[in-house]
Amino acid sequence: MYCIEASRKLQLQENEKLLGIMAFGDSILDTGNNNNLISLIKCNFPPYGQDFIGGKPTGRFCNGKVLTDLIAEGLGVKETVPAYFDPNLQSKDLATGVCCASGGAGLDPLTSSITSVIPISEQLENFREYIRKLEGLVGEEGANKIISNSLFLLWTSTIIKDLYEVGVRKIAIFSTLPLGCLPILRTLHGGLMRSCGDDDNKPAELFNSKLLAEMKNLSSFLPQAKIVYVDIYNPLLDLINNPVKSGFSVPDRSCCGTGTIETSVLCNQLIPFTCDNVSEFVFWDSAHPSEKAYMIIASPILQDLKKNF
């Protein structure tokens, strides 16, 4: 399509069901937008990325690929999704989508302000800028076609109406995680036994139930949109509660450092004790799943997305 190589152009002409992937949200989807921010919420240094292509840290909060990449790859769009602020971003990447998510963004704008990352509102403005660049590349009609036939991965419902107004029609909105079972929150709130905390999981469950209800409501008055709820709470909780079934042996600590508190700048190459058997750990750092965990979680998600899109 336009600046895309001929074989890709032919493929899209034959099957224009899904042309691109876009992502908005926080660190679960971020592929490197925090790298050049003055913030502590970043990970563009080892040991992050040790299992990514080339073994290089890219700003993904993982040892390898994150859900954005795995979904794009699984749906046949492209192998990885570049960050919108990747300095190496090429024009051809725009036509198949970019990631606008920012680690630490959270749902409350105050969270982004405190952590000095990109809030959801600014991610939306970056998307509008992306549209202008895309129009310059493929024209207004071509840009509209790509936007309406791309899948948008969201970590919040707050921007769905805004996205709909600019032509977005395919949306997958993610639940939150079982927060009380993240290694860092086990350490902070789980007592001496570092147990999963209901005080954190119950609000997460309530949030997810409200999100599902809101999604159904939005679907009723945005008739041209297809909105799918993506549950990652229960699949991750299943890995934590039944690790051996999926080939894990450590569900309560992370691979990086001591596995109890290290995440972002605290997970670095100067920290001792980082594991050499990450495939046995559900979590890479104390707040984020490992690539293997993401791959297992992504499998049923992809099946559902393929049925819907």
Catalytic residue numbers read 27, 285, 288
Q: How many whole angstroms from its chain centre is CA 118?
A: 14
How far is residue 27's CA from residue 66's CA, in Å, rounded to a whole number? 9
Query: Do 177 and 232 touch, CB atoms closer than 8 A?
Result: yes
Regarding beta strands 281-285 and 288-289, do their DSSP bridges make them parallel or antiparallel, or are they unpaired? antiparallel
Cα gap 176→183, rounded to integer Å:
16
